[in-house]
A and B are shown apart, each in its own frame.
Chain A
Amino acid sequence: MFKMALLEIRTLWKQFVCIILIISCVYSIVLTMLNVALKGTGQFNEIIDGMYSKGTAVEFTNIPELKHDLFYDFSVDNIMYFLRKEEKIKENNWYKKISDESKLTIRTKFLYFNTILLDMWGRPIDDYTFFVEGQRWRYEDNSKDYLWISNSCSKEYNINIGDSIRYYIDDNNYISVTVRGIFDKRTAENGGYTMDAILPVSIGERIAKMKGISISYNAIGTLRYVTRYPKLLEFCNENGIGISGVEDYAVGLINTASMINTTCLTIAFLLIVCVVGVVFILLSIVIKLREKHIAISRALGISILKISFVYMIVIELITTFSILISQFISQRLNGILEDNLIKILDLDRFYLESSISTLIIVLVTTNILFAFFFILLTKKMAKLNIIALLGRG
């Protein structure tokens, strides 16, 4: 059968070259889209994860007076604190954990300190928050103690950037930290919180130790929280109070990534279906061209199933070959797309890499569709009237 398939390919090489060209062109787009959807999304997540959970995620628990779970997250590029209000209600002998996150009406924000936003200093970040002044962070700043204070706090106590201040945990315990930035904010119209200072997690951890608060390290990464509770991102001081920030760039990126992912997958699937449909039509034409050959083969004793398999092998070989060509073209397209996505999405880095798994997904999907169409094709071939065809001699 394999040899018969090869002979068919040789006989109909012109038609098959057309099919190869069509499949290669469309599939290079399909593969690129799938690369963006499958590989790119992973990277989006990596980038987002990097924003949220590069540093250690620390969870302060058992702070009865606050009834808050306080999350800190810190990385070289960003800092974030967010709050989840939870209450334990005693019911019979059980404690029921109730989260009042849905009841929060305050505007939720996420402060994202990175090189992009550092450029925004001096300009209003949103209706409520301004970066007044600050020092640029460097990588090595990660391990140092520092503090951002509010403008009112700065004025009240005459604290300037670069000052080293004592941050009291309680009456006896304090930490010396350097003020690295000043921000200003108004009280949220809907009665939100005010914030005095932003502390990095490195300090927060020590504060926790000093206060004898048990700390559990949350290794899940904060992306889960961001996607689950995108509206619960808040700033707060160590008392668990405060809200500020800028529009959540990461959440925006999540939405963009999700949109890109869905769009790419949908278009890729539609293109696969379209190509399979077009190839099926072309193959029907090919079979029409070859009906005399099919008739003589039937007279020579080939079964319908066998002759269908011959054409199935033909199309599988052509498809595989075309997809391999597509993979090559797709690698080139990936390069072009990478540069553009970096520009459009304002990313530091983004790379698209063709992978065998994507190739296998495409091959399997296409072949399943072809197998389905071949049932129709086999029925079509079974209807060929051998006697009539041979009689036309």
Chain B
Amino acid sequence: MIEIINVSKKFNSSGEGNEFWALKDINLTIETGEFVAIVGRSGSGKSTLMNLIGTLDKPTSGNIYIDKEDIVNMTNQKKELYRNQKMGFIFQAFYLEPTYTVYENVEMPMLIKGVSHKERRKAIEESLSKVGLLHKAYERAKFLSGGEQQRVSIARALVNNPGIILADEPCGNLDSNNSNQVMNILAELNLEGKTVIMITHNMEDANKAKRIITIYDGKIIGDRKLKYV
């Protein structure tokens, strides 16, 4: 369970007097196994919220707990461990290493974790099978289509078997066909019990989640649960 309590985030764009509140006193609880879509206009604070949940950033005030553990005041070392083992990141721009093969890209989190070669191989193959790209394991990432690249990115997020998947506009750079594929994979992962938090501005994608949280000017202005299809 993720609990966000009174979280605010302030940015100083250039010196004093240019303060900008990206998030204002956010309170939110996300249960384990939920599929949450955070929607909002550009600059509304949804990415900031995801960065805070993903321990990439620190709130100006407030607390965030994941499974009762305070992730705001964690040591950097613990945060790194958290990101590596309990969270999977999916980015709009995929952020694959173009010169690496699909296999090597997916292998990255496991190399960071320090898993043995044999275990790595097994987990990578499983992960690639889930996204339907096992046959492309030894192709260079740069030769893949956008949809395939995003699926590799999902495989990479899954490979350490994290409980939480954080997807920042996962379909932002994809056509509708590839978007559907990616959304289906995320839905399947959610069915497997993973908590999926997805940021999107596309309502069609958001409607595939179980819950939609709307943010506007750093505040939650809507939170509704959907009937899951």
A interface list, Cβ under 8 A from B: 1, 3-4, 7, 10-11, 292-293, 296-303, 306, 386-387, 390-391, 393
Residue ID in chain A nearest B92 by CB atoms = A393
28 contacts between A and B (CB under 8 A): A3-B107, A4-B108, A7-B100, A11-B100, A292-B95, A293-B97, A296-B91, A299-B56, A299-B83, A300-B83, A300-B108, A300-B109, A301-B82, A301-B83, A301-B85, A301-B112, A302-B84, A302-B112, A306-B112, A386-B56, A387-B51, A387-B57, A390-B56, A390-B91, A391-B47, A393-B92, A393-B93, A393-B95
The binding surface of chain B is classed by DSSP as helix
Query: Which 7 interchain pairs have the tightest Cβ spacing?
Result: A301-B84, A393-B93, A301-B83, A296-B95, A11-B99, A302-B112, A301-B80
Indicate if the CB atoms of B104 and A393 lie closer than 8 Å: no
A4 closest partner in B (C-beta): B111
A390: chain B residues within 8 A (beta carbon): 56, 91, 95
Would you call B144 an interface residue if the criterion is a C-beta within 8 Å of the partner chain's C-beta atoms? no
Q: Does A300 contact B89, Cβ atoms closer than 8 Å?
A: yes
Q: Which residues of A are found within 8 Å of B97, using beta-carbon distances? A: 7, 11, 293, 296
Cβ of B41 under 8 Å from chain A: no
Contact residues in A for B92 (Cβ distance below 8 Å): 393
* Most chain B C-beta atoms within 10 Å of own C-beta, residue among A3, A11, A293, A296: A296
Interface residues on B, range: 20 to 34
Residues of B within 8 A of A393 (CB): 91-93, 95
User: Restricting to B104-123, which residues have a CB under 8 Å from any CB of A?
Assistant: 104, 107-109, 111-113
Assess whether A300 is in contact with B84, with CB atoms less than 8 Å apart: yes
B98 CB, min distance to chain A CBs, angstroms? 9
**B137, chain A: closest CB distance, angstroms:** 15
- Give the distance in Å from the alpha carbon of A299 to the alpha carbon of B109 in the complex: 10
User: Is B54 an interface position by the 8 A CB rule?
Assistant: yes
Give CA–CA (A10, B99) in the complex, Å.
8
- Residues of B bordering A, CB below 8 Å: 47, 51, 54, 56-57, 76-77, 80-85, 89, 91-93, 95, 97, 99-100, 104, 107-109, 111-113, 156
Which one of B51, B80, B107 lies within 8 Å of A302 (CB-CB)?
Answer: B80
**A86-B226 Cα distance, complex, nearest whole Å:** 110
Q: What's the count of A-B pairs with C-beta under 8 Å?
A: 60
Contact partners of B95 in chain A: CB under 8 A = 292, 296, 390, 393
B82 to chain A, nearest CB (A): 8
Shortest C-beta distance, A16 to chain B (Å), equals 13
Residues of B within 8 A of A11 (CB): 97, 99-100
Knowing A11-B99, A303-B77, A387-B57 touch, does A297 contact B108 (C-beta < 8 A)? yes
**Interface residue SS majority, chain A:** helix
Min CB distance A375 to B, Å, is: 18
Given contacts A7-B100, A11-B97, A393-B95, contact A301 B111 (CB under 8 A): no
* Residues of chain A lying within 8 A (CB to CB) of residue B109: 300-301
With A293-B97, A300-B156, A301-B112 already in contact, 12 other A-B pairs whose C-beta atoms are closer than 8 Å: A4-B112, A11-B99, A296-B95, A298-B80, A300-B112, A301-B84, A302-B80, A302-B84, A302-B112, A306-B112, A387-B56, A393-B92
The docked-state distance in angstroms from the alpha carbon of A393 to that of B91 is 8
| Given A3-B111, A292-B95, A390-B95: A299 and B100 interface contact (C-beta under 8 Å) | no
Distance between A365 CB and nearest chain B CB, rounded to angstroms: 31
A301 touches B100 (CB 8 A): no
Among B57, B82, B111: residue with most chain A CB under 10 A: B111
Q: CA A3 – CA B85 in complex, angstroms?
A: 19
Among A292, A293, A299, residue most surrounded by chain B Cβ atoms (within 10 Å): A299
Bound-state Cα–Cα, A387 to B95, Å:
13
Q: Which of B57, B82, B93 has the most CB of A within 10 A?
A: B93
Least CB distance, B126 to chain A, in whole angstroms? 18
Least CB distance, B76 to chain A, in whole angstroms: 7
Q: Min CB distance, B167 to chain A, in Å?
A: 13
Q: Please tell me if the beta carbons of B54 and A299 are within 8 angstroms of each other in the complex.
A: yes
Distance of A1 Cα from B57 Cα, bound (Å): 25
Nearest-neighbor residue (CB-CB) of B54 within chain A: A299
How far, in whole Å, are A393 and B107 apart by their CA atoms in the complex?
21
Q: When chains A and B are docked, how far (Å) is the Cα of A75 from the Cα of B153?
A: 80
Minimum CB–CB distance from B45 to chain A (whole Å) comes to 13
Q: How far apart sit A183 and B57, CA to CA, in the bound complex (Å)?
A: 93
A11 to B140, CA, bound (A): 12
Closest to B98 in A: A11
Docked Cα-Cα span, A387 to B76, in Å, equals 15
- Bound-complex Cα distance A325 to B95 (A): 36
Chain A residues within an 8 Å CB radius of B81 = 301
Q: Which of the listed residues A300, A303, A391, A393 has the most CB atoms from chain B within 10 Å of its own CB?
A: A300
Q: Which residues of B contact A293 (CB under 8 A)?
A: 97
Q: Whole-angstrom distance from the CB of A299 to the nearest CB of chain B?
A: 5
Residues of B within 8 A of A297 (CB): 108, 112
Q: Tell me the complex Cα distance, A298–B95, Å.
A: 12
Given the complex of chains A and B, what is the CA–CA distance between A386 and B91 in angstroms? 13
Closest CB in chain A relative to B115 CB, distance in Å: 11
Pick the residue among B51, B56, B76, B104 that contacts A7 (CB under 8 A): B104
Cα A194 to Cα B81 in complex, Å, equals 89
- Residues of chain B lying within 8 A (CB to CB) of residue A306: 112
* Alpha-carbon distance A3/B109, docked complex (angstroms): 12
- Given A7-B100, A292-B95, A393-B95, decide whether A299 and B89 contact each other with a Cβ distance below 8 A: yes
Q: Report A97 CB to chain B, min CB distance, Å.
A: 69
**B93 / chain A contacts, CB cutoff of 8 Å:** 393
> CB-CB < 8 A to B54: which residues of A?
299
Q: How far is the CB of A268 from chain B (nearest CB, A)?
A: 37
Q: What are the residues of chain A within 8 A of B111 when measuring CB–CB?
A: 1, 3-4
